[in-house]
Structure 1
Amino acid sequence: MKQQLTPETVSAILRDPDSPLYPSQITVFCDHCGVEATGDYMVSEDMTSAQRLGVARKHLVDNEGWEHDEEIGDDFCPEHAAPAPA
C-alpha cells in the first residue's frame, strides 16, 4: 500500500519554492450511485486534468476499495465495485 503524505511532508513541499507540487481538491463520483469521494492530492501544474483525476483514482483504487473501469471510464464506490477475484 502506498504511504499517504504526512502533514510535515506536505508542509515541506509547500515551503519549497522549487517544488512543482501543490495541493488540489479532487472529487470522484461513483457512476452507479453518485456517491462522492473528495480529497486533497498533491499535483503539479504541468499535469493535465485527466492526469490529476488519475492521481485521485489511483488513491481510491489502491486504498479505499474503489474500482475504475478503464474501458468505459466509469468509477465505482466500494459498494458497487466488482468483487475481488478469489
Structure 2
Amino acid sequence: MAQAQQISSRQVQARFKGKSDTCSGFVLDRAMQRLTDTDDARPVSAIDVEFGDLSYFNRTVRKYFGLTPSQVRRMRGIIYAI
C-alpha cells in the first residue's frame, strides 16, 4: 500500500492511528468486499488487495475469516441471501 501511494510504511500506519481500524483490517475488509462482489467475475488470483503474494493472501484470509478466498468466492451468493 505504501509503495502504491509513494509514501513510507510508517506514514500508512500513522494514517490509521486513532481510527477504529488498522491497515491490515482495512486491506482484509477490502479483500472480502471484492471476493463477495457478485458483479466481479475475476478469479481470486486477479483480485489485487495489496498483498503482493497470492499464497500470503490465501493464508491471511483463511486465518481471519476461517475460509479460503476460493471458498468465500463460491459462497458469495449465499452470503447475500442471508
Structure with greater proportional strand content: 1
Q: TM-score, normalised by structure 1?
A: 0.32
TM-score, normalised via structure 2 length = 0.33
Structure whose CA Rg is larger: 1
